[in-house]
Chain A
Amino acid sequence: MIGFIVRRLAQALVVMAAIALISFLMFRYVGDPVAVMAREDASVTERQELREKLGLDRPVVVQFVDFIGRVVQGDLGISYRNQRPVADLIKERLPATLELVMMATLLSLAIGIPLGVITAVNRTGWLPTLVQSVSLVGISVPTFVTGIMLILVFAVTLRWLPSFGRGDTVQIGWWTTGLLTISGLKALILPSLTLALYQMTLIMRLVRAEMIEVLSSDYVRFARARGLPARMIHYKLALKNALMPVITITGMQIGGLIAFAVVTETVFQWPGLGLLFIQAVSFADVPVMAAYLLLVGLLFVVLNALVDIAYLVLDPRLRTRAS
């Protein structure tokens, strides 16, 4: 098991190095930083001095090692657009996105898994049919439509929930959280629901398909024949077997949600990473884009490793093979 984790970590490091290289290359090929930073009327010598000051005259390999060294220390450069350290910008925005995505994931698991089990166990009847057809809507309607519809109903018409922003936040160290105030929680409901809807239907359909297969397996029939109660068979014995692919998909989806929560964040004016990224793209703010690439890469690598470890924890067969 430990050997496996070490090997997995080594793989993760290789992937991260590759991502860092791409991120580093962005600086070199997406525009010339000297041209961006120097004054319009700077002379050739001034430009050369700036180039030397920034270390751009040194060999590429040295520059790359230097870049990695800085990244590891948390120095992600200075944003071209607002001349502030990129690390600070990300620190400000990351909590908002993470809270949104975690809430969305919790919602989608808490609703998607039981619905998947219920629709797998009772395949006929009005409830499963209804859930199945509603889930079809959930999977096919784009996020911005559901977001705007939710705003229309709950914010504009009923006036129950705010339509934008994070509400009141509390500062804990560098982390700003909206989870500790009523208005923060209220503000979280609509965007997380919007973000969760697609994932929820995905998980529901996945659990349903897996459960149907598991329910027809010999060990479930054997458990039934030994008189074990249906609730235990469905929610304990069978569900555990059906969850393996759900873990993979959830892991991948969390990464995707963080990286591409852009649409939801835009609809709800949510001050998260997505907004930061969109702004960076429109201003060709290379340090922010490069840092964003690194961050998203890191998230995917970490989530993937966690998924693999979760597999090991859940499936004893893999455990024996890995050791």
Chain B
Amino acid sequence: MPSTRASTDPRLVVEGLSVRYRPGAAPAVDGVDITAAAGEIVAIVGESGAGKSSIGAALLDLVDKPGTWHAARATLDGEPIDYRARHTRGRDVSVIFQDPQTALNPLFTVAEQLIQMVGYHEGLSGRAALARAVEMLEAVGIPDPAQRVHQYPHQFSGGMRQRVVIALALACNPRLVIADEPTSALDVSVRGQILDLIAALARERGTAVLLITHDMAAVSRIADTVTVMKAGRVVETAPTEALLNDPQAPYSKMLIAAVPPGDRKIGRFAIPPRDDVAAPAIVAGADLDAWLRAHAGPSVGETVLAVEGVDKIFQLTPGLFGRGRKLFQALDDVSLTVRRGEAFGLVGESGSGKSTLAKIVAGLQTPTKGRVVFGPHALHPASREVEIRDYRRGLQMVFQDPFSSLNRRMRVGEAVAEPIRTAGIDDRHKMRAIVAALFERVGLPAASIDRHPHAFSGGQRQRIALARALAGRPRLLICDEPTSALDVSIQAELLNLLMDLKDDLGLAMLFITHDLPVVRQVADRIGVLERGVLVETGETDTVFDHPAAPYTMKLIDELPHRHMATQGPTP
């Protein structure tokens, strides 16, 4: 805890920091104070646009022109940070970038990149520089560093690359490191390790760390102190445990309440409605109700979708005459059912085959083996054309990326109206009435149906995508990571909406995600995919509380529980 390490002279003191991206424009950061002791990890949290990344850019003096920044005081160990000095960046202040796939220069070996650092900043060369490079790789936990140092970035896995990024950032022992979303581009299973590594190195070397993130799990795992930001200002600063369990400011309370807890089911998130989203209303009346319920299908509890013994094998390299052909089994004998009024959560890491399964269920890919039965029809093995069309109509998808899943040139109302038109409604007024009612149902003003997608935020676009899916009157809704691109409070609202819709309309839902806390809130039953094999299925609470498969145990062990108390936050 910081109190035990606090020295008389805090390592980093920033007072009155402001950042403006255009002269005269509203500041992105407005009078922010930050203090960090040596070895302390200070998390800066907030939603997109809160200005947290701008703080990092300013402290590195990398605010893009014509942007400017200014601070009444910015000192390291009591001395002002001098950005005109050649070695300030790199030796005093350094940074860990977000995405290890893009942060490393692909054409230079890890050794070359590390040697460039220590060569320029510390004048090391030859053997001494190489020895330092190997030592750094060893410090960040890369096995066999003397050999691997001569490899290129693409020869490392994602988690290992992020270790290389950390090695580069810490190569010259900076006093302050800015870690800007250091784990959000990584697979869930390695996030914990990378966070622990950052924490261990910071403590060992006495480096102050500013952890800029929107991920409360990361905060609870390693941060000592948390600063909550909203619209460029600090809302609250407190020790991590105090903030997570007993937030004081209303905004912090909302933010904490929106975080899905991994260790219990809370049902709806207790968050107040926002200004830019109307409360979902069931004011639409007869038109919408008649529309949505016309295709009700089987009654609640009956099986809507059955996947039986599905295999999917991809051929990776075409191979001449069958030689050297590489096969990849994406799915191995997967069977599951989804019932009406039920949300089935499908979880697994990237590459586990969950999106492949979604595509097979949606009829976008054919399984190598096995059956997919939906309602009265079997999609695989192939049915007649008419049945497949009927099948597809009964099934709708909500995709992950709200920016690419809507046609930019189409008014959102038209996009939502398309499935209604294909169902044979030609009456423009009736159609518009249904679309407007659908918009209100998903919490968007009915008046906004004539606008284009760019006029909406990410969360609003996901609502539009949901309205479009509902307009097709699905019996099964497939949601593929529908909230992973959204801020936590917007995620909470969307999850609330999804749960309400499922209950009101008796939808069957296949909810695909890598985010265990989210799936715990949403799903009634879950299935865990490990490299194409469904290792466990069961009631959500049972699987979380008493996991049977070793892989499930590992995933659940990775969940944060250091700071989160067992009793809930008090909203």
A residues in contact (CB < 8 Å) with B: 217-219, 221-229, 232, 237, 240-241, 314-317, 320
C-alpha gap A188/B107 in the complex (Å): 37
B62 to chain A, nearest CB (A): 6
C-alpha gap A317/B155 in the complex (Å): 8
Contacts of A223 in B (CB 8 A): 105
Ranked nearest first, the 3 interchain pairs of A and B with the lowest CB-CB distance are A227-B90, A227-B89, A218-B102
Contacts of A320 in B (CB 8 A): 152, 154-155
* Residues A226 and B106 in contact, CB atoms below 8 Å apart: no
A212 to chain B, nearest CB (A): 14
Given contacts A218-B97, A219-B102, whether A241 and B116 have CB atoms under 8 Å apart is no
* Residues A225 and B106 in contact, CB atoms below 8 Å apart: no
Q: B103: CB under 8 A from chain A? A: yes
* Residues B108 and A227 in contact, CB atoms below 8 Å apart: no
B residues in contact (CB < 8 Å) with A: 60, 62, 86-91, 94-95, 97, 99, 102-109, 116-117, 120-121, 152, 154-155, 165, 168-169, 171
Contacts of B103 in A (CB 8 A): 218-219, 222
* Residues B117 and A226 in contact, CB atoms below 8 Å apart: yes
* Residues B88 and A241 in contact, CB atoms below 8 Å apart: no
A220 to chain B, nearest CB (A): 8
* Residues A228 and B97 in contact, CB atoms below 8 Å apart: no
* Residues A228 and B120 in contact, CB atoms below 8 Å apart: yes
Contacts of B62 in A (CB 8 A): 221, 224-225
C-alpha gap A229/B90 in the complex (Å): 11
B284 to chain A, nearest CB (A): 46
* Residues A222 and B120 in contact, CB atoms below 8 Å apart: no
Q: Which of A227, A314, A316 contacts B87 (CB 8 A)?
A: A227
C-alpha gap A219/B154 in the complex (Å): 13
Q: A219-B106, A222-B165, A316-B106 are in contact. List 8 more A-B contacts (CB 8 A).
A: A218-B103, A222-B104, A222-B168, A225-B97, A226-B89, A229-B120, A314-B107, A317-B152
* Residues A226 and B168 in contact, CB atoms below 8 Å apart: yes
Contacts of B86 in A (CB 8 A): 227, 229
C-alpha gap A227/B154 in the complex (Å): 24
With most chain B CB atoms within 10 A of its CB, the pick from A222, A241, A315 is A222
B102 to chain A, nearest CB (A): 4
Q: Which of B107, B117, B120, B168 contacts A316 (CB 8 A)?
A: B107
With most chain A CB atoms within 10 A of its CB, the pick from B91, B105, B106, B121 is B105
Given contacts A222-B95, A226-B90, whether A241 and B107 have CB atoms under 8 Å apart is yes
B326 to chain A, nearest CB (A): 13
- Residue of chain A at shortest CB distance from B57: A225
Q: Which of A227, A232, A314, A315 contacts B91 (CB 8 A)?
A: A227
C-alpha gap A241/B107 in the complex (Å): 7
C-alpha gap A132/B284 in the complex (Å): 60
C-alpha gap A229/B88 in the complex (Å): 12
With most chain A CB atoms within 10 A of its CB, the pick from B86, B94, B103, B109 is B103
* Residues B107 and A240 in contact, CB atoms below 8 Å apart: yes
Given contacts A227-B87, A240-B107, whether A317 and B154 have CB atoms under 8 Å apart is yes
Contacts of B90 in A (CB 8 A): 226-228
Given contacts A320-B154, A320-B155, whether A226 and B108 have CB atoms under 8 Å apart is no
Q: Which of A217, A225, A232 contacts B116 (CB 8 A)?
A: A232
Q: Which of B99, B104, B116, B152 contacts A228 (CB 8 A)?
A: B116
A214 to chain B, nearest CB (A): 10
A222 to chain B, nearest CB (A): 5
- Residue of chain A at shortest CB distance from B101: A218
